Amino acid sequence: MTRSYNFCAGPAALPQEVLKKAQEELLDWNAKGLGSVMEMSHRGDEFVAIAEQAEADLRELMTIPAHYKVLFLQGGASMQFAAVPLNLSGKQNEVDYFHTGEWSKKAIAEAKRYAKVNIVASSEAENFSLVPAVSDWRLNPDAAYVHYTPNETIGGLEFHDIPDVGNKPLIADMSSNILSKPMDVSRFGLIYAGAQKNIGPAGLTVVIVDESLLGRALPICPAMLDYKIAADNASMYNTPPTFAWYLAGLVFQWLKAQGGLEAMAIKNQQKSDKLYAAIDYSGFYSNPIALKDRSRMNVPFVLSDAGLDKVFLQEAEQATLFNLKGHRSVGGMRASLYNAVPEAAVDALIDFMQDFEKRYG
Ligand SMILES: Cc1ncc(COP(=O)(O)O)c(C=O)c1O
């Protein structure tokens, strides 16, 4: 079977080897006659082994220090927009947020339901085309934590350095760049990520949290959102998304076989450098983000004539290049280049774009 190239921002392409292994094991996990992972009790020895292996592999890949808990939850990153302030805003109930795009906007709106939000810095006036300069940050000394979105999936903006926020717990919505390169987990109080980009299928949310932040939830925090309850129950306070957890485990094993996050970082840099170079070289395509802040994961671009968008997308599909339509809030195109998108996909996209420009530009 030939596979088309999928540039979807999420749910995104998964490694073909992972899909194949899941297919082989769909009816009978590990050829043991035990049936499908989907049919296993989450409390049985077999599933607990799968779950523990996935956690161990993620810890190894990200070099997660022992004093961090790794939680496998549901509700998507959007549920974490509420869970973070409900767990961590504390008695003072004041929190700091960076505002750098559509996802931080949503995180801020949700946090405002539970806490007093100070905006540390915003690039809204620049149409979210850059990461605010450190000299423009206004941190609130009384804030319980500082939240940011390391990669804005819609705008294609990425913080390439971890913000230095002093001794405040730094909280990151890493949904769209987790596992794309090595990151020093010890710099964070908490990391969360919806799985459906670099981790696995939709339905799973990974939270990595410093143990010292557990047990601070506001009284109104639902049990299902309380990190301490999740940690005390090994993410099995209720039935976890078992099949998604298993698939994430297969992705972690695939990542290890690829050479881990150092290897992914090199590949991701190469892929995005190539595509940005092709965009910048042409007079037909453009990307509005400041060069130093461009995302390696999500590359938005517009055509010089928006009237050609429809035919661009139609012809791209004929060339088996799928899901290039930009987010409805910004229009244009977007190519998402997560770990499972091979360099050959980027080469094929660039060839197509150059050919399209020749014919219509
Ligand atoms: C950076 C970021 N945060 C949050 C979300 C929302 O994730 P979910 O749909 O898992 O709630 C997304 C989804 O694309 C995202 O890219």
Say which DSSP state 240 is in: -
Does residue 183's CB lie within 6 angstroms of at least one atom of ligand 1?
no
Distances (CA, A) of 246 to 81, 86, 253, 304: 25, 29, 11, 44
Q: Which atom of ligand 1 is nearest to the CA of 205?
A: 10
Does residue 175's CB lie within 6 angstroms of at least one atom of ligand 1?
yes
Q: How far is the CA of 193 from the centre of ligand 1 (A)?
A: 8
- Residue 312 near residue 303 (C-beta atoms within 8 A): yes
Distances (CA, A) of 161 to 71, 183, 226: 25, 9, 29
Q: Which atom of ligand 1 is nearest to the CA of 194?
A: 10
Residues 6 or more apart in contact with residue 261 via CB below 8 angstroms? 61, 62, 179, 180, 181, 182, 183, 255
List the structure tokens of 123. 């690039």
List the structure tokens of 85. 């302030």
Which residues does the chain have with pLDDT short of 50?
none
Question: Dihedrals φ, ψ of 309, to 5°?
Answer: -55, -45
The runs of H, that is alpha helices, within the chain are 16-24, 45-62, 76-88, 102-111, 227-232, 242-257, 260-281, 309-318, 343-360
Strand partners, 151: 158
Q: Which residue has the tokens 């506001």?
A: 218
List the structure tokens of 9. 């921002």
Is 226 an annotated catalytic residue? no
Q: Which residue has the tokens 């881990």?
A: 260
What's the confidence (pLDDT) of residue 196? 98
Reported as a single tens digit per residue, the pLDDT across 245-300 is 999 999 999 999 999 999 999 999 999 999 999 999 999 999 999 999 999 999 99
Distances (CA, A) of 349 to 197, 308, 312: 19, 17, 11
Catalytic position from the list 57, 173, 226, 293: 173
What's the confidence (pLDDT) of residue 24? 96
Is 293 an annotated catalytic residue? no
pTM of the model: 0.98
Q: How far is the CA of 46 from the centre of ligand 1 (A)?
A: 31
Does residue 78's CB lie within 6 angstroms of at least one atom of ligand 1?
yes
- Residue 76 near residue 127 (C-beta atoms within 8 A): no
Q: How far is the CA of 75 from the centre of ligand 1 (A)?
A: 10
Does residue 199's CB lie within 6 angstroms of at least one atom of ligand 1?
no
List the structure tokens of 353. 């774009």
Whose alpha carbon is nearest atom 5 of ligand 1?
77
Residues 6 or more apart in contact with residue 361 via CB below 8 angstroms? 282, 283, 284, 304
Does residue 150's CB lie within 6 angstroms of at least one atom of ligand 1?
no
What's the confidence (pLDDT) of residue 2? 58
Q: CA end-to-end span of the chain, whole Å?
A: 34
Residue 339 and residue 336: Cα distance in Å, rounded? 10
Q: Which atom of ligand 1 is nearest to the CA of 79?
A: 11
Q: How far is the CA of 284 from the centre of ligand 1 (A)?
A: 30
What's the confidence (pLDDT) of residue 101? 98
- For the chain, the maximum distance between any two Cα atoms, rounded to a whole number of angstroms, is 62
Amino acid making up residue 203: G
Is 103 an annotated catalytic residue? yes
Q: Which residue has the tokens 């190519």?
A: 335
Does residue 10's CB lie within 6 angstroms of at least one atom of ligand 1?
yes
Catalytic position from the list 29, 103, 245, 254: 103
